[in-house]
Amino acid sequence: MKIAIIGQGYVGYALAIAASKAGHSIIGFDTNPKVISEIRGYGNLSNYQPTNSESDIKNQDSYIIAVPTPLDEKNLPDLSFLVNAVQLIARSSLKGALVINESTSFPGTLREIVITEIEKINKAKFLYAAAPERIDPANTKWSIKNTPRVIAGIDDQSSKAAYEFYKSICDEVILVSSPEVAESAKLFENTFRQVNIALVNELAQISSKLGISATEVITAAATKPFGFMKFNPGLGVGGHCIPIDPIYLAQKAEALGAPAKFIRQANLVNQQMPLYVLQRLKELLNDSLQNMKICIVGLSYKADVSDLRQSPSLVLFKELQNSGANVVFHDEIVKDFNDIKSTPLTPDSFDLTLVAVHHSNLAVDKVVASAPIVFDCTGSITGAHQL
Ligand SMILES: NC(=O)c1ccc[n+]([C@@H]2O[C@H](COP(=O)([O-])OP(=O)(O)OC[C@H]3O[C@@H](n4cnc5c(N)ncnc54)[C@H](O)[C@@H]3O)[C@@H](O)[C@H]2O)c1
């Protein structure tokens, strides 16, 4: 198939590589020239063409959307990137094509946004499907290929065409009865994580008051061979799935008059974690953070990635600064942030070292030697103060 993938970020580029390896002829379009010039530097396959020129994506067999779906300043779904991408597709295809949305969004997006916007501009016959991406950055076990893909077309012909494409890149494709089911499944998966993370974050606060280790409680509970799934507490949630996708579901639910109390509450608990940790650090430092030299280890939102989006480490960084602390960070993957460079971990350099994220290559012995107090949000440093 001749396919244009709209958006060559994390999702769109990974898809472009998978689809070109499967033999499709791929044009990867992105509005950001920097993204395209970086990709051109990688040395790509001959059937993959990265571009930021609209004229390159005319009349393809299929268009797959992989653009950002963030929240706006009012914390509401921002579909402006998606709408722009859809309008671009409508302008580019004269004869109609298979249009697939992989971007995460609320149930109804394919029908209410994608189809509506295309039909405003282009009267050709298009096929439409939703195939939300499930990729997990830095996960070495689960990739596009072996992660089952949930898809649904707007009609039988669309479902069949989308199924055939995904069968060419994924081992297992699950066809559900409507795009709304596929869109909801994606949001529910991430909401499930958000709620369970919030629950263990609350358990961490309860355990601290009880004077016991939350990690030990969770490890003990996880010995139950049925009816329990292990989640770990942490400094909060980051990236652009767990803090954002549940809001898309909550917003749609509330617009329909359905409850979303659990989702809203979980979001709040996770958002407040950096403030809870700030309080714990204050207690460890005799109630004042003024002029305390504090090192945050791990600035990204999760282990082994450099992505800083919505990272709770950044929230804590700012809160510590506002409390008068002298804050530095150590992160060998992020290396620098806002012109601040990662600080090496040398012995006895800080009053307190806080481990927010544990990258695989972290030198734990250096963390332990770096300060008299080590506070560990990851449950992985023996002898440290725990969440
Ligand atoms: N990153 C993940 O782990 C992940 C996992 C599953 C789903 N998703 C979802 O996939 C979608 C894309 O996420 P991402 O991580 O790839 O985002 P990203 O920010 O890494 O990439 C998006 C790209 O789209 C480009 N873009 C924006 N508007 C455009 C337009 N109108 N036309 C062409 N290009 C445009 C941007 O320049 C950017 O390079 C989002 O809906 C996200 O929620 C992401």
CA of 77 to the centre of ligand 1 (A): 14
CA of 368 to the centre of ligand 1 (A): 38
Cβ neighbors of 24 (< 8 A, separation 6 or more) are 1, 2, 3, 47, 165, 168
Identify residue 198 by its one-letter amino acid code.
Answer: A
CA of 299 to the centre of ligand 1 (A): 21
Structure confidence by residue, pLDDT tens digits, 225-248:
999 999 999 999 999 899 999 999
Structure confidence by residue, pLDDT tens digits, 327-340:
999 999 999 998 99
Task: For residue 361, name the pLDDT band (cuts at 50, 70, 90).
Answer: very high
Per DSSP bridges, beta strands 48-51 and 340-341 are: unpaired
Residue nearest to ligand 1 atom 5, measured at CA: 135
Please write down the HEC assignment for all residues of 23-61.
CCEEEEECCCHHHHHHHHCCCCCCCEEEECCHHHHCCCC
Decide if pLDDT at 45 tops 90.
no
Strands (E), 59-143: 62-65, 98-101, 127-130
Of 146, 86, 152, 144, nearest in space to 113 by CA:
86
- Mean pLDDT computed over 63-76: 96
Query: Which pLDDT score, from 0 to 100, does residue 44 have?
Result: 72
Chain mean pLDDT for the chain? 97
Q: Model pTM greater than 0.85?
A: yes
Atom of ligand 1 nearest to the CA of 105: 41
Q: Are 100 and 130 in contact (CB under 8 A)?
A: yes
Residue nearest to ligand 1 atom 37, measured at CA: 32
CA of 69 to the centre of ligand 1 (A): 7
Query: Which pLDDT score, from 0 to 100, does residue 138 have?
Result: 87
| Residues tagged active-site | 241
Please write down the HEC assignment for all residues of 342-363.
CCCCCCCCCCEEEECCCCCCCC
Query: Which pLDDT score, from 0 to 100, does residue 43 have?
Result: 79
CA atoms within a 13 Å half-sphere pointing along the CA-CB vector of 265: 8
Chain centroid to CA 270: how far? 15
Which protein residues are within 6 Å of ligand 1, measured from CB? 6-12, 29-32, 35, 66-69, 81, 84-85, 88, 103-104, 133-135, 137, 240-241
Which region among 11-15, 39-43, 63-67 has the lowest average model confidence (pLDDT)? 39-43
Lateral strand order in the sheet of 127-130:
48-51, 25-29, 2-6, 62-65, 98-101, 127-130, 149-153, 173-175
